[in-house]
Structure 1
Amino acid sequence: MAAASCLLSEDQFLCSICLMVFTDPVTLPCGHNFCNKCITDHWDINVQCQCPMCKRLYTTRPELWVNTFISEMAAQFRQSVQQEASCSSSEHQAAKPGEVPCDVCTGTKLKALKSCLVCLASYCETHLEPHLTMAGLKRHQLIDPVEDLEGRVCTKHDKLLELFCKSDQMCVCMLCTYSDHKTHDVVPLTEECEGKKAELKETEAEIQQMIQKRRLKLQEIKRSVELSKLNADREIVEGVQVFTALKASVERSQAEFIKTIKEKQRATEIQAEGFIKELEEEISELMKRSTEVEQLSLSKDHLHLIQSFSSLNTAPTTKDWTEISIRSPLYQGTVRRALIQLEETLSKQIKKVFEAELKKIQQYVVDVTFEPYCKLNQSNDNCRCVLSKQGFTSGRFYFEYQVSRRSRWTLGVTTESNMMRRITLSPSNGFWTLSLKRVGGFFASGDPSVCLSLKSQPEKVGVFVDYKEGLIFFYDVDTGTHIYSFTGCSFTDKLYPFFSPCVNDGSFGFWLGISIREPRLILH
């Protein structure tokens, strides 16, 4: 090691161009030594041939001869270093998979501590020592050990990539600035790196904002799941209460039905028991009289027979049973009356459920503003209509129409694209509507239309739409009853609330002014 250190203490063994130990060293007429390739490349890119050290100018490129003395000394240096590395390799830990090995070690490759961007090699602790002690090697740029150091060298000039061309957005070497990138905007890598670091800070800030937004969204989703679970639990409790009440009502109706049947049967049994008792008493009395008559007929006492004849010859007083009978009670209608009573109870319960459902749905009420639109062709009639300015492509929304004192109307939702032509109202054409016709009653749009049976004409109709689930519900707001539902719809276009009074009498301004109720704004 001492011998190697002595050899390396002299700067004469380092090329002043590449700052590495000489490779094929040559001597110029001025006496300065360089690597053959280094001085040749240097002269190739310069017009004048001069010594890089003393600046001596040569009119013609001098012939280069290898300096055998320096070449031998360099070879001895490399050999001594390799021997020292071989001796000490067993004393240090070998490089593990994934770690950068030393490029100088022979045999077992030790773990590299640093990589040199000038030498393009990685060194273990032993082989790194010259870069820490020699004046020339101290100027080399050391970094944490990395692989693929060849990727840090210009493939064209075999020089370190230490500059950045902003024009072509690529790393270049010093020689590139004299050729392909001569007129380009070139800056040191350190300067460009500072700019990139500033951009990375902005990127990091943006990423942190994105992370924060997603954390908030994560909390929002978790909260939504919690609220959904609370809603589901509440719905289960309310639903169980409803079904429990219905079950109790059915059981009461069943018990009352059975009680009614049994009471009728018991009344029949009581009546029959009375008749049976009377008949048994009369039979007993008649049998007694029959015995007395038989005994009297056999009597040999003529006086006794004559005296008793008048009393025994007359039949005892009995009831006329000719028209008396026991009829089975008439049970027909008992089940029907029980079911009618149960239906009334069920209707009341359904009404309560619909009222609660409508109340929940009304939280999605939106504020809509209507404006006149085109004419439509519905059942061959020209119908004026209005369309809301607001359209919906997601979520849930609810709105109401005041339809009292109107003998004809059509309302619901539609897609604006289908409002551009005369068309028949149907879901296949983008219309989900409810209609009251002057002749024929209520209809839901369909292929064909669905005739509805309503007990009374609604004065106010509520419409609820769940865009994602493909649901449209129509309600009688005043009675809280459900009118009709469109389910399993697949919405892709924007939906607009739609209304038409189905008149063609020129009263457009009248019905536009008073027939549309504009609800409060609560968007979800």
Structure 2
Amino acid sequence: RHTPKLSSPIRKTLSHQFLCAICLDVFTDPVSTPCGHNFCKNCITEPVDADVPFQCPTCMKMFYPKPELQVNTLISEMVDTFRRAEQRPARQEEVLPGLGLKPLPLLLCVVFLSLLLDCMKFNHPLEEMSKGKKGVKMEAEIQQTIEEMRLKIEELKRSVELGKEDADREMTDGARVFAALKEYVEKGEAKLTEAIREKQRQTELQAEGFIRKMEQDIRELKKRKTEVELLSVLQLEETAEMKEKLPKMLAMAKLRRAQSYAVDVTLDPDTANAYLFLSDDEKQVHDTYREKALPYNSERFFYSAAVLGKQSFSSGRFYFEVQVEGKGEWTLGVARESINRREDITPRPAAGFWTVGLSNGNKYKAGPDVALSLQSAPKKVGVFVDYEDGLVSFYDVDTAALIYSFTGCSFTEKLYPYFSPGLENDGWNSAPLIITPVN
């Protein structure tokens, strides 16, 4: 039996990557320039005056003095492997000493190389996409690249399945051989089987890593595609209808970007006030009129009807959404780790709180001092934090409208999501705050 050959498109792509740009033939003793391009050693190292600057034939970058070029052993080995694969109708098979077993196919290595080379093709700056027809063309190229990458992911998955079948056959062959030598090498069978399984596990892990990377690249390309579509809209002739839609489109684009940093947040019962009730999944909280008998905990809010999230953040960006529909009072935001939890403290930036909230059913505020005028009552509020930029922004998720932003904040310690459902008030404010998934 033989391992199937590589498909023609992959073979064609690999042969193109192994061609010298000077002699247009497969590399012989390939060397690499400081700028990262590869050529045959004889093609690029012809006698040149030492006082004359060296210029890369591909990118035309100048180097002075002329660099000393060494043979790139990695590419040289890959070229040798490729040549052997081209010359033989079936994969090269070697016999393990004394056992008659064959190693796993090198098919995945070749496929991985093809995927890496294809991923490096796409490097268009976003500015070029905003130039009329170029933007439309780039949008098509992005979509085509996404489809090609999806096809390669499927091919990679198929290769993994073939590898599994090969592994099963190798283990079967190994068991058959060791059965005849059982009294001498009884432990050898287990070792060989484990070695084969370990090799297959490593192959699967590598494949999974490449698949995750490709899927992440697809998500990034989709984001770029959305930006290209938005830029294309900006180039259209301004009309009364477009002037009305454009602000909403820009607001939605900002919200979508914030939502790309969504994290999974749950409530921390060790910080919850004794009068608060938390759901079993730790995603909902509301006030009750009964105090629960809870053990002393220095992290618990003693006077304030509040609770923190379990997750903390000390760098980067994060985003979460909370349903506030049906409530007459609530407060949301983030708080630093060292806030005072034993006294009745009004949430404000100076005390380590960055929040927005509702009181009396119709009064919206940022902190205790900034009154907000909203066009509509939000049903779901999104909270976005950029730790390094010192930014905390709140969004009406349904309308994509920005509610308020704290800017120029100086964060020096861990930040926690902050939730206060407000007092129950005889059922008037009994609806819970609900942490919802980000769509």
Q: Which of the five TM-score ranges fits, normalised by the shorter chain?
A: 0.3 to 0.5
Larger radius of gyration: 1
**Hey, which of these two has a bigger chunk of helix by percent?**
1
Structure with larger RCO (C-alpha < 8 A, sep 6+): 2
Give the TM-score taking structure 1 as reference length.
0.32
Give the TM-score taking structure 2 as reference length.
0.38
